[in-house]
Amino acid sequence: MPERIYNFSPGPGTMPQEVLAQAAKDIVNFNDKGIGLIEMSHRSKEFMAVTDEAESLLRELLDIPANYKVLFMQGGASSQFAFVPMNLLAPGQTATYLNTGVWAKKAIKEAELFGDIKVAYSSADSTYNHVPKDSDYTVDPASEFLYLVSNNTIYGTQFHEFPKTDKMLVCDMSSDILSRPLDISRFGIIFAGAQKNMGPAGVTIAIVREDLLNRAPATVPTMFRYKTHADKGSMFNTPPCFGIYCVGLVLKWLKKQGGVKGMEKLNQEKAALLYAAIDSSEFYRGHAQVDSRSPMNVTFNLPTPELEAQFVKEATTVGLDGLKGHRSVGGCRASIYNAFPKQGVIDLVAFMQEFEKKNS
């Protein structure tokens, strides 16, 4: 077993080793100030500088326009399933959702508590093995927004192009944010849990267009208003300090790798290696349709569930960890987020080829 295993887990995902090393130092003694990062006041000038730098880097890397607020929030992406309709829909108003997986389905369930939700498309009947084209659905004309999940972690699918519509887009980008360039101006709200591409679990990023901050009905509690957090610079209450700090470190690392464009190139290279191994074999079978394949989460099956279990077990013994697929789809899943090293994919492909020889 290598000193450091390859973590193919869907989340928390791999973080850059240099980030882990720096965080380990700063959690005990931040900037040689004699106090650990997680002990410092979130309102101290030292920690405010950490937050400001993280926001500045995120704005730079994603080219976020000035009329958008960047919020560091708690509650995970799952809390945003309710935040979005609570803040954007008044009683009786309509929104359209695309059901492309478990997380979209959960978001729909929450949204139905607050508005008239139209599900324009669902790929449930095909075990969510694809995302729709624009021609596959119609957005309800009365909709305040169109909601989608950009990358479906469990099933290994991704919207390679975002819907072309005159309706505002709201998007859960938890598993592919910072993996490719974006036109932020097409979205009203983007949110993402950090624990796949940005940092550790505990902080969620919300990018919210300023004109939406006053949309929440008067009945929405203070803590559940985007405006509350925007007005206080994400400091209305004690934020997830360690998570924000780590996000900042990851963003510094990402900038050194060539930014989002550099990440996109590397991600495509890693995914191409793995999909080529699947496509060149009759032993392995990809779950996602080819035109919907995700470069972040590669899902595949072997001839039998018994072989899949054996594959996962043997892979783990040689340092290829976290390859078991989600219970709802079975099989195997290799999550190869931004910080996942290319060598890990090369090693996985070699293992796949050897396993096939031994078990065909």
Catalytic (active-site) positions: 103, 172, 196
Which residue type does 111 have? A
Q: Which residues contact 122 (CB under 8 A, 6 or more apart)?
A: 98, 99, 100
Buried b (16+ CB within 10 A) or exposed e, 122-148: bbeeeebbbbbeeeebebbeebbbbbb
Element (H, E) at 313: helix 305-317
Kindly tell me the sign of the dihedral angle through the C-alpha atoms of 230, 232, 233, 238.
negative
What 3-state class would DSSP assign to 191?
A: strand
What 3-state class would DSSP assign to 57?
A: helix
d(CA 46, CA 261): 31
Q: How many CB atoms lie within 10 A of CB 56?
A: 13
